[in-house]
Amino acid sequence: MGCCPECHAWDTFSASTPAATATIHGREITSKVTSMIQLNSVTEQPRERMMSSIAEWDRVMGGGIMRSSLLILTGDPGIGKSTLLLQVSNQLAQRYTVYYFSTEESLHQVKLRATRLGTINDQLLFSDQANLDAIITTAREGKPDVLIIDSIQNCYLPGTQSLPGGVGQLRESAFLLMRLAKEHDITVIITGHITKEGVIAGPKTLEHMVDAVFYLQGEDQWHTRVLRAVKNRFGTINEIGFFEMEQSGLREVPNINEHLINDATHSPGSVLVSVMEGSRPLLLELQALTVESKLSMPQRVISGLDHKQVMLIAAILQKYLHVKLSMHDIFFKVSGGFKVRESATDLGVALALLSSYFQQPIPEHAIALGEISLTGHIKPINQITMFIKEAEKFGLERILVAKNQKVDGSSCKVLRFQHVYELLSLFSES
């Protein structure tokens, strides 16, 4: 063909050989062959973590935010996600370039919050743009160190028929942001809503696509917010951070055990235990109430512990101590709204049930640390040294452990038990 019908230029056509094609399920595959390499030939590049100077946040992140990662922060409406991100971004802006896109609130509303929090920072740049294409283009051109989007549900992709926040748009948005983070060395932090069932809206379409997922949760007893990692490719998922909601924003609570110990009571049915959350032990109060039941099927209301764990301990006590807990209503909870999943609390559960059953408190300023086998024997636990150091720090004087538990260098009085039979010695009138 001599003249191009499109541009009307002469002799502009050239011959080319198409790439070899294959078909899979009727679809042509024209991509080039990808070269494979050995991992030993990959050059290791140590990645710097970005520290925010907010210790509770940095610890939950795994020791700071990893560069080029895609993170999501979620929680109930009004729990403080935007407040926490504004404080974190203000600290990060001291050393890094931060773009903050507020898709839910106007810049006027953001300024009001920033003024209240004292986070007005000329190094921190804001926009209320919700067009995701425009946000990504701005990030590619500006190349910030950190890109924050609050929230992903309010972003929209132009040219699509679905509403913002739909499953399709969420998946595509997360994919585009993931490629932005990896290809342009930009750390992306997004916030997401959760449903009534407590999962990320979508539902849960974002969790497998991002590098880390963090939940900001509230505790009923105090104005406390708990930052918890449920997925983290660059750190442990067991770390939790504590914040207290105040007029001036979220304040770090570096030692939550002080709150927990102050609220503990020395009364029948109350026993202190300790569990590991990440790298630090928490001192928690177990509360049990046993009441002779007037129902054919006694009630079992348990909060904060596995229902089966409490029922198993109650069955062991009834088998070997002949206390008729099967004829009693059992109400059990962990103070502060925490959830415990460790067998190291078995001894505490048993003592709380017995203490309520006999209506006698265990010795004052005591903590129970032990596991109970199905034969009724009390077994030692791991990391006992860390638990004891934390107990001593807050003035606890007695430690109730297994008979063969190794305890070194403790100033506390150690009470040892081999079998659940021996627990009856704590209740003089039993």
Q: Where are the chain's structural domains? A: 49-254, 258-426
Q: Tell me which H or E stretch contains 413.
A: strand 413-417
Q: Which residue type, as a one-letter code, is found at position 351? A: L
Q: Residue 216's beta-bridge partner residues?
A: 75, 227
Q: Residue 246's beta-bridge partner residues?
A: 249
Of 269, 258, 429, 427, nearest to 348 by C-alpha is 269
Q: Which residue type, as a one-letter code, is found at position 27? A: R
Give per-10-residue mean pLDDT for the chain (430 aa): 79 69 57 79 79 90 91 86 92 93 91 89 90 92 93 83 73 89 92 65 68 81 78 84 86 80 83 84 90 90 92 94 92 84 91 94 91 94 86 86 86 90 80
CA 42 – CA 38 distance, rounded (Å): 7
* Triad 28, 30, 32: Cα angle to 5°: 150
**pLDDT score of 154:** 86
Structure tokens at 75: 């929680």
> What CATH number does domain 49-254 carry, 3.30.70.1380, 3.40.50.300, 2.30.30.30, 1.10.10.10?
3.40.50.300
**Whether the Cβ atoms of residue 92 and residue 52 lie closer than 8 Å to each other:** yes
CATH number of 258-426: 3.30.230.10
Structure tokens at 123: 């190094």
DSSP string over 136-190: HHHHHHH--SEEEEE-GGG-B-TT-SSPTT-HHHHHHHHHHHHHHHHHHT-EEEE
CA 67 – CA 174 distance, rounded (Å): 17
CA 223 – CA 317 distance, rounded (Å): 37
Q: Residue 242's beta-bridge partner residues?
A: 226
Q: Tell me which H or E stretch contains 55.
A: helix 55-60
CA 284 – CA 122 distance, rounded (Å): 43
**pLDDT score of 203:** 42
Place of tokens 């009834």: 318
